[in-house]
Structure 1
C-alpha cells in the first residue's frame, strides 16, 4: 500500500506535481537522460513509498536518478524570481503543454470572472 492517507487520484496528482517541480528545478547539465526516462524514474521510483517486497530498480533508472540528484538546484534558488516563475509555470501546465484544469474549493462563492484568479496571478 502506498500513501494510505490520501485517495488514489490525489496520490496521482501529488506525484505529477512533484515530478513537475523536480524537472523545473534541474540545471542544464551534460548527460541529461531522455525526458520520458526522467519522468518514469521520478514517477515510478523516486516519489513512491517503498513496499516491503520492493522491486529491483533498473540500471537506467538508477543512472537517471543519480543524474537528477547531481543536477538539481538548491532550494535557495527558489528565491530567484525567474526560477520560481519556471516552477509555477511547470505546475500550471500538463505534460502536453496545455493548461491544467482548475479546481476551486467553493466555485459558487466566486463570480464567473474570478475562477482560478489566484493561480493566474501567481504565474
Structure 2
C-alpha cells in the first residue's frame, strides 16, 4: 500500500466504513485490509475519509439500497468505460467518486472554487 501511495501521490484517502458481515471470516479479512490501508495513509500523513456503503450507493445511484450491479453500471457511465471490472473494483471506484462528489459539494457550500 505504501508503494501505491508513493507512486500515485494522493492528497487524501477514502475508505468504506465497516459493515456487519454475515461471515465472520470475511469481516476479519475486511478489517485487516481497512486497517492496513488506514495505517499506510496515516503514516504518509494523509487525511482519511470514511463513507458508509449506504452513503456511497446514494451518491452514485441515488438510492442507498442500490445493488452492486447498479453501482457497477453507474461507474461505467460516469467514467465512460466499458472495461470489465470486478464488483470489488467498482466498489473501490464508487468510494473514490463518492468522496470526490462530497468534496466538490462541500467546497461549493463553503464558497470555495
Same fold, TM exceeding 0.5? no
TM-score (ref. length: structure 2): 0.25
TM-score (ref. length: structure 1): 0.24
Higher share of residues assigned strand: 2
> Which entry has the higher C-alpha Rg, 1 or 2?
1
Higher share of residues assigned helix: 2
Larger RCO (CA within 8 A; separation ≥ 6): 1
